A and B are shown apart, each in its own frame.
Chain A
Amino acid sequence: MTKHLVHLKVNGELKEGYAEPRTLLVYFLRRELGLRSPHVGCDTTSCGACTVLMDGLPVKSCTVFAVQADGSEITTTEGLSKNGKLHPLQEAFWESHALQCGYCTPGFLMASLAILNRNASPTEEEIRRNLSGNLCMCTGYLNIIKAVKLASEKMAKVRN
């Protein structure tokens, strides 16, 4: 099958690679660009483990073709920390015990970041509604919801 050159800016760095027209963004990121954080859990856009930010908006990267993403800016969990220092959102997940096996975590982090980017202090209702496209089989979600609230407080402190 013919392959197409795909250019992306991933976590601030320019990257390129070849993709078949049928290659999904998540597999392009994982197999061509060597990222590990976007995980595949369902194939039906249900679980959100593959969530990344594409030009600032959360997308399930199993439902975007790599060629569709050509020229866009992608943020993944690998791009959250700076020089080994965790992002306040990561710290909040850690302190709240918002992860167990960790397979869904990168997707939840990116979906949560999208919420906080849109509204710096979301209500519990807003957090619940906007995370309902991500599945977690381990935690029961309560600590994830708690973590996003905590992250919003932490990020407010950083801003002030």
Chain B
Amino acid sequence: MSNKLEHNNIPLDSVSASWKWMGKPLKRFEDRRLLLGDTAFVDDLDIPDLLYVAILRSPYAHAKLLKVDLSGALKVPGVVTAIDGDTAKAVTKTIPSYAVATLKPEEYCLATKKVRYVGEAVAAVVATDPAVAEDAIEEIKVQYEPLLAVIDAEKAVNSKSNFVYDSFGTNAVGHNHALWGNVDEAFRSADQTLKERISVQRFSSTPLEPLAVIAKFDRFTQELTLWCNAQMTGHVMMGLSEMLGMPTNKIRLIVQDIGGGFGIKTRPWRPLAIASLLAMRTNGKPVKYIEDRREHMMAAGMTAGGIFDVEVAFKNDGKILGFRLHEINNDGASLQYAGTYSSMRATLINGSYDIRNIEWDSYTTLTNECPSMPNRGVGKPGMVYIVERMIEFVAQRLKMDPAEIRRRNFIPANKFPYATPSGRVYDSGNYPALLRKALEIVEYDKLREKQAELRKNGKYIGIGLATYVHGASAHSREIEGISIKIDAKGNIVANSGSPDMGTGHTTTISQIIAEELGVNPESITVDHFDSNFSPWTPYSGTHANKFSGPDVEVTLQAAKKLRAKVVAIGANLLEANPIDIELEDGKIFVKGSRERYKTLAEIARASYQNPKLLPEGVEPGLEETAIGNTPLATGAFMTDAKYEVGSMHQLVTGPGSPTSFMTYPSSAHVAVVEVDMETGELKILNYVIVHDCGRIINPLIVQGQVQGNAVHGIGVALLEQFVYDEDGQLLTSSFVDYLKPTTCEVPNIIDDHVVTPSPRSSIGIKGVGEGESLGPLASLANAVEDAIAPLGGDFRIHSLPITPEKIYELVKRAQKQRNRT
């Protein structure tokens, strides 16, 4: 443990020896403003003449929409205008589907003909006061004819009637099937097989700031301006332009502070389109819509639920030969993101293990529940959960140590780059080293002895492992843009296509630019996203751990180009050879003589004001834009994927699936828990994470991501679940029913690193925004089963969250069976 920087267990090999600003745990530059309360969240913005939007939402999960009568609302004093689904249908196109191509989307931003989930937007009102707008939606008269709600995903897959969309003639809107290796042979040659059904619930990272938008439409220029908290600026520009039938140059999208996103804010189609339509009916006055918490829980989007039947073939020595996985995904009532939870699973199908024979059969079904949205890792938490539970089941059956069975199945450290059975190529990793380090930190052997000792005294502790690969830095085809300029006074300003949502973009971008330009990173300004100024592409945005991929690459590219120009001009002014020029402290020196220098401001002055001072072939101005992907990631491309690709996906990337990641970070989690056999209460005694995210630009920010991620994963494992009753009513629409971890539940987390720099990143980094939220689902389930193992029998956690009630029932059943035998 000696090879560490002092502050937080960052090993020295996580930084490159040549870095001055990168690799440092700098305090974030954006924090001062946030700490002072000088925030620019949508609801904070000073925009004059605001009008306020309220949305009427469906109380039914599934019903025919017979009539919407807005007249009552329009009579309320203070109401300016109101719209319903007929208006939306007349002037907009449908909400695009992302992954499903075989079916034509039918949904508009407001319901037409049918409502399909509780909380679906039916009509919207604009008034001079937010309370008046709320009063007015109560005066809208709607006639519904309730239909039977489709809630059970398993029944929905095979149902021959009662469809969420009648014209589809099915609820099973997606199906992926693949056979990799020789699965039948694997099962024939196995010593044993086992079969289990496990599931993941529907959940969400629930950003604390709900969806929010201000829309303003200029009747004369026909320009629409949107201030909103959308994460995926590129998708919003492309999708909204399609839906509204407006050219992108007439839509100005401004994204300032975002109060957390986690994927849920990537595609806020409905609120954006509703606000836009209303803004076109208010004589130029801007309209503001701020979702409330209940609306957010009902309608903003959540994960897809999953039911997984897994059948494993293995040898008595613990070697897993292959498995069959049958999935049913519940994507709720919309095609907008349906199918993506399923297809993402194939990217990590074998996890960190060298398992080559896999059959994958995955259905996506629609139900009368809230539509799915991406959430931290999308289909990855489910896939990690499946593989890390499966390996545990095999270990339990063989009475083998869970660490040992992992060691026997890991992809060896010398096998990278590693092509997975599903055709992805893992970049780098050392999974045995991750596990080794994690076990050292918890003192695994001693802990096992202690566990045995405690059991004798009626205390039951359990140790649960999860050792897995994440998949990060976005898909290898995703392209981002950034512009960096040194203005005429020498100020450095960067403008990226991807917005900061608490993710530390401002600081990290500044550290990268500072490294190239030899300035103090604090002197750099990173502007918020504005489509009129920020270079954006259809995939621009903050999602899929993308920052560590194309964002960092284009920042480096633009900064290097700018550096080259500064050096050329500086060398000319100093009458020196460009090779001898060094940049430091905002000055350009001739190597070896610190007295001979020019400041960046002087270079800028020459560049913008005196063409005569420029060397031959150097254009005036100091501004560079880079738009690009991750050139070193070509090896990660999937060329023969067989996924359905929906209209949105085609719109932004063209046909073919790019679901292969640029970097593959990895983690080993060890959870140590104590189970109270009398009450079912679970206490996390220790939680250790050793992860490999390659080199690190800012260790402080990385550790923040690790902790926040892990705690969300712990919430999913133990607390969080959207619950629908059989009529499709959401029973968990507030934080009173939908439980989040608080300061009282979170364990202290020990984090440490193994570093295998990614060969696909110019600076050897990997992504960090999602990974640690994937592990706790399995590590905690494994730990609970380990704790109650002495009771004997085959008693397993089949569903999440692992509530005290579930543990209690498991313990009681096990005790009952033991008493019988």
How far is B208's CA from A136's CA once the two chains are assembled, in angstroms? Answer: 7
With CB as the reference atom, state the residue of chain A lying closest to B258: A101
Say whether A93 contacts B736, CB under 8 Å: no
Shortest beta-carbon distance from B437 to chain A in Å? 20
In the bound complex, residues from chain B placing their C-beta under 8 Å from that of A1 are: 131
Chain B: number of interface residues, binned into ranges: 35 or more
Residues of chain B in range 731-774 having any CB-CB distance to chain A below 8 Å: 734-736, 740-744, 746, 748-749
The answer to the question of B103 belonging to the interface, with a C-beta cut-off of 8 Å to chain A, is no
Q: Using CB atoms and an 8 Å cutoff, list the residues of chain B in contact with chain A.
A: 27-28, 30-32, 34-39, 41, 43-44, 131, 205-210, 257-260, 262, 290, 292-294, 501-504, 700-701, 703-704, 707-712, 734-736, 740-744, 746, 748-749
Say whether A44 contacts B35, CB under 8 Å: no
Residues of chain A in range 1-58 having any CB-CB distance to chain B below 8 Å: 1, 20, 22-23, 30, 35-37, 39-44, 46-47, 49
How far is B749's CA from A1's CA once the two chains are assembled, in angstroms? Answer: 52
Give the 6 A-B CB pairs with smallest separation, nearest first. Answer: A101-B502, A103-B259, A37-B37, A102-B34, A140-B711, A46-B735
With CB as the reference atom, state the residue of chain A lying closest to B34: A102
Mark contacts of A122-146 with chain B using CB atoms, 8 A cut-off: 1 yes-contact digit, 0 otherwise: 0000011101111111111111110
How far is B735's CA from A49's CA once the two chains are assembled, in angstroms? Answer: 13
Contact of A46 among B131, B503, B736, B746 (CB under 8 A): B736
The answer to the question of A77 belonging to the interface, with a C-beta cut-off of 8 Å to chain B, is yes
Contact of B746 among A76, A94, A109, A141 (CB under 8 A): A141
Say whether B743 contacts A131, CB under 8 Å: yes
Contact of A39 among B27, B259, B736 (CB under 8 A): B259
How far is B295's CA from A44's CA once the two chains are assembled, in angstroms? Answer: 13
In the bound complex, residues from chain B placing their C-beta under 8 Å from that of A43 are: 292-294, 734
The answer to the question of A152 belonging to the interface, with a C-beta cut-off of 8 Å to chain B, is no
Known A42-B735, A100-B504: A86·B743 in contact at CB below 8 Å: no
Shortest beta-carbon distance from B740 to chain A in Å? 6
Say whether B208 contacts A101, CB under 8 Å: yes
How far is B290's CA from A40's CA once the two chains are assembled, in angstroms? Answer: 10
Say whether A101 contacts B260, CB under 8 Å: yes
- 10 residue pairs of the A-B complex, CB under 8 angstroms, read A36-B44, A42-B734, A100-B502, A101-B502, A102-B31, A103-B257, A103-B260, A131-B742, A137-B207, A142-B711
In the bound complex, residues from chain A placing their C-beta under 8 Å from that of B36 are: 77-78, 81, 86, 90
How far is B32's CA from A77's CA once the two chains are assembled, in angstroms? Answer: 12
How far is B41's CA from A49's CA once the two chains are assembled, in angstroms? Answer: 13
Shortest beta-carbon distance from B73 to chain A in Å? 17
How far is B710's CA from A133's CA once the two chains are assembled, in angstroms? Answer: 20
How far is B736's CA from A141's CA once the two chains are assembled, in angstroms? Answer: 19
Say whether B736 contacts A44, CB under 8 Å: yes
Q: What number of A-B contacts does a CB cutoff of 8 Å give?
A: 167
Say whether A140 contacts B709, CB under 8 Å: yes
Shortest beta-carbon distance from B5 to chain A in Å? 15
Say whether B734 contacts A103, CB under 8 Å: no
Say whether B742 contacts A132, CB under 8 Å: yes
The answer to the question of A113 belonging to the interface, with a C-beta cut-off of 8 Å to chain B, is no
The answer to the question of A67 belonging to the interface, with a C-beta cut-off of 8 Å to chain B, is no
In the bound complex, residues from chain A placing their C-beta under 8 Å from that of B711 are: 139-142
Say whether B37 contacts A106, CB under 8 Å: yes
Q: Other than the known A36-B38, A104-B208, what 6 A-B pairs have Cβ atoms closer than 8 Å?
A: A36-B37, A46-B736, A47-B735, A49-B208, A102-B259, A128-B743
Contact of B742 among A37, A95, A103, A135 (CB under 8 A): A135
How far is B294's CA from A35's CA once the two chains are assembled, in angstroms? Answer: 24
With CB as the reference atom, state the residue of chain A lying closest to B701: A97
In the bound complex, residues from chain A placing their C-beta under 8 Å from that of B701 are: 97
Say whether B502 contacts A138, CB under 8 Å: yes
Contact of B32 among A39, A42, A44, A86 (CB under 8 A): A86
How far is B210's CA from A104's CA once the two chains are assembled, in angstroms? Answer: 12
In the bound complex, residues from chain A placing their C-beta under 8 Å from that of B703 are: 97
With CB as the reference atom, state the residue of chain B lying closest to A145: B743
The answer to the question of A150 belonging to the interface, with a C-beta cut-off of 8 Å to chain B, is no
The answer to the question of A59 belonging to the interface, with a C-beta cut-off of 8 Å to chain B, is no
With CB as the reference atom, state the residue of chain B lying closest to A105: B34
Say whether B37 contacts A76, CB under 8 Å: yes
Contact of A142 among B31, B43, B748 (CB under 8 A): B748
How far is B746's CA from A127's CA once the two chains are assembled, in angstroms? Answer: 13
How far is B209's CA from A22's CA once the two chains are assembled, in angstroms? Answer: 23
Residues of chain A in range 90-119 having any CB-CB distance to chain B below 8 Å: 90, 93-95, 97, 99-106, 109
Shortest beta-carbon distance from A77 to chain B in Å? 4
Say whether B735 contacts A101, CB under 8 Å: no
Shortest beta-carbon distance from A54 to chain B in Å? 17
Say whether B744 contacts A99, CB under 8 Å: no
